[in-house]
Amino acid sequence: MKHLHRRDFLTRSALATAAMATPRYGFSSLVKADEYVEVVTTHGRLRGARNEGVTIFKGIPYGGRVSGDRRFRRPAPLAPWTGVRDALQFGSPAIQAPRRNEPDPAEDCLFLNVWTPASDNRKRPVMFYSHGGGFVGGSGASGAQDGANLARNFDVVVVETNHRLGLLGFLYLDELAGADYAESGNMGMLDIVAGLKWVHNNIAQFGGDPSNVMIWGESGGGAKTSCLYAMPEAAPYFNKASIESGPGVRMLPKDVAAETTARLLKELNIAPEDWRKLLDVPAAGLLAAQNKLPPVPPFQEKSNPHSQARRDYSGFGPVVDGVVLPHHPFDPTAPAISRNKPLLVGWNEDEYTFFAWQSKDTEFAKLDFEGIQKKLEPQYAQDASKIVDTYRKENPNASAPAIFVAISSITMMGLGSVDIAEKKVKQGGAPVYLYNFGYKSEKKIPGTDYALGTPHAMDISFKFNNELPPRDGSAPTESYFGGNRPERFAASRHFAELWTTFARTGHPAAKDVPFWPAYNFNTHPTLRIDSTCEVIDNRFRQELAMWRSIGEL
């Protein structure tokens, strides 16, 4: 067991995606239908299924082929179809390990899903979600992010895409392969932009407003949202954003991306001048090679990008290539291109407990305060004692494991979130709202008496309003993460209503939730989201001051 810092995040975040594809929130292969609904799109007619007040369209193609001679390039044009195409089954996710309750992964994966109250041209807000899983896993069909309850209960249209991941989405060939492969290091992000363009051209037919689109995402999806917020090609297609437990302040520099490409070629025994042989390697072979390279997190450290600590890895994610991604999303400043677009950003209070649960780490629950300091010293050296002392002083009744969880959680997701909020305020444009999700699950981490609390990824089912009593009036079943307490239903309602109101108006608000002021440098307000919500001014003031003093913020 080791202290989980941001650089350790990618491997664990892929596990988060796997955990979300569980039977508790799983989908059958076909939509259950009370009736079928047809919609005309720019490429042909689609048939979706209407059930319990929501119309669902699954597996809509939004781009053409990305295999064969289109590998590592922009998609082939999407060919129109004749007749009516069924949109009743999810499309293939990107190449990765097989996903439960989903089609087999495939290289051609450009499909999206739509949940809408009705295809009636009413111009509802559109919530365009990017899934988690770092940049190597996940799908727009992940279980907990079913969009039906958001559409049904809050009158919004929800859209989720599949897009290229891993080396098929982010292999940097710009310096090796010439003009035809320019932008190759950001193909996965450009796929998402293609999905946004599809929404712009078609969503009115599904009851959505193409001029009122919110981009949002959790974990790796938050990092993707951070990139979209800074991408000129995405800018015309959304007007507000939410970055949840995935603060993508910095992305891969070109030199690190080029080194990753060199390591991949070496792994495959391909000389650089023979790079075209990559086009002939089966996708399964590329995935196997990808899995042999140590991963990188979906956001980069604040330290010098040329230091050995920063270059001791290889992996795949968006590249700051100066064109598709002109600069780091939030370094040195918030992106000017999105100056006038409101932003939500925040994290879960106990992010770390998810990773402890996934990796079967029970040792953290046995730590004493001396043990915490020893675990922090390899990363923070002489500052380790200062970190522990600050957290003990500010949390005098907390146990040693609770202090360790607090430190690990804020270094993973909190510091980057605060950094983004502060840079957005300094920009002087649209408001930014900072939050912490704090509903506490009573479920214990197996092998310990330590409760999950508010782990990484638990927010997904809450903000999608999928923590609800059964519609048939039967007794509620245990939530996958959230436990058994009925208070979770109120927390889910608050979270979902805040986000859908933000999508509609640009200001988050909900019934029985206090007014949420924009983040500012006078009161530093943070909304704590729970069954009862609270605005907390200057939250973590001393802890953040300490992190600044040692150069981590």
C-alpha to C-alpha distance for 493 and 479, rounded to whole angstroms: 15
For residue 473, give every residue at least 6 positions away whose Cβ sits within 8 Å of its Cβ, in sequence order, or none.
none
- Is residue 314 part of the annotated active site? The answer reads no
**3-class DSSP string for 314-354:** CCCCCECCCCCCCCCCCCCCCCHHHCCCCEEEEEECCHHHH
C-alpha to C-alpha distance for 47 and 154, rounded to whole angstroms: 24
CB 14, CB 137: distance < 8 Å: yes
Q: Checking DSSP bridges between strand 208-218 and strand 240-244, what pairing results, if any?
A: parallel
For residue 266, give every residue at least 6 positions away whose Cβ sits within 8 Å of its Cβ, in sequence order, or none.
none
Helices (H), 382-473: 384-394, 400-409, 415-427, 459-463
C-alpha to C-alpha distance for 172 and 262, rounded to whole angstroms: 10
Q: Position of tokens 């959230």?
A: 482
Q: Position of tokens 């809509």?
A: 60
Phi, psi of 302 (to 5 degrees): -75, -20
Exposed/middle/buried for residue 168 (C-beta within 10 Å: 0-12, 13-18, 19+): buried
Lookup: tokens for 495: 């979270």
Number of C-alpha atoms within 13 angstroms, CB side, residue 230?
Answer: 32
Q: Of the residues 219, 314, 338, 492, which is catalytic?
A: 219
Q: Count other C-beta atoms under 10 Å from residue 371's C-beta.
A: 15
C-alpha to C-alpha distance for 303 and 133, rounded to whole angstroms: 24
Lookup: tokens for 266: 């070496």
Please report which helix (H) or strand (E) contains residue 500, including its range: helix 487-505
Which of 332, 334, 311, 194 is closest to 252 using CA atoms?
311
For residue 508, whether the previous peptide bond is cis, meaning omega lies within 30 degrees of 0, is: no
The residues carrying an active-site annotation are 219
